[in-house]
Amino acid sequence: MKTHMELEAYVRFEDFARSYGLIINGIVPGKWMATPTEDHPRKRNGRYKYMGDHGWVQNWATMPKAVLWKSDKPQQLSPSVYRAVRDSAKEREDMAKRAAAKAGWILHQCLNAPHPYMDKKGFPDEPTKVWTDEAGKRFLAIPMRIAKSLVGLQLISEEGEKKFLKGQRSKSASFTMDAKGIPIFCEGYATALSVRAVMKLINIRYTIHVCFSAGNIQEVARGIPGGIVVADNDASGTGEDAARETGKPYWISSTTGEDFNDFHLRVGDFKASQSLKPVIIQAQKAALA
* pLDDT tens column, 12-41: 888 899 999 999 888 888 888 899 999 888
Ranges of residues in the chain with a pLDDT under 50 are 1-5
| Beta pairing, strands 162-164 & 250-252 | unpaired
Is 130 domain-assigned?
Answer: yes
Count of structural domains within the chain: 3
Is 82 domain-assigned?
Answer: no
pLDDT score recorded for residue 4: 44
pLDDT score recorded for residue 79: 67
The CA–CA distances, whole Å, from 5 to 10, 13, 25, 83 equal 9, 12, 19, 18
What is the C-alpha to C-alpha distance for residues 164 and 156, in angstroms, rounded to an integer?
9
Query: Listing from the earlier edge strand, what are the strands of the sheet with 54-59?
Result: 33-35, 46-50, 54-59, 67-70
Whether residues 210 and 284 share a domain: the answer is: yes
pLDDT score recorded for residue 2: 45
Residue type, 49: K
C-alpha closest to that of 283 among 182, 151, 167 = 182
Whether residues 190 and 151 share a domain: the answer is: no
The CA–CA distances, whole Å, from 197 to 106, 171, 254 equal 28, 27, 21
Whether residues 215 and 255 share a domain: the answer is: yes
pLDDT score recorded for residue 91: 77
Contact criterion met (CB below 8 Å) for 187 and 208: no
Whether residues 189 and 146 share a domain: the answer is: no
Contact criterion met (CB below 8 Å) for 45 and 60: yes
For residue 216, report the phi and psi dihedrals to the nearest 5 degrees: -75, -20
In degrees, rounded to 5, the angle at the alpha carbon of residue 209 between the alpha carbons of residues 55 and 156 is 80
Is 90 domain-assigned?
Answer: no
Owning domain of residue 239: 174-289
Whether residues 283 and 192 share a domain: the answer is: yes
pLDDT score recorded for residue 1: 41
What is the C-alpha to C-alpha distance for residues 220 and 262, in angstroms, rounded to an integer?
23
What is the C-alpha to C-alpha distance for residues 106 and 5, in angstroms, rounded to an integer?
47
| Beta pairing, strands 46-50 & 54-59 | antiparallel
The CA–CA distances, whole Å, from 186 to 27, 228, 257 equal 34, 9, 15
Whether residues 65 and 122 share a domain: the answer is: no
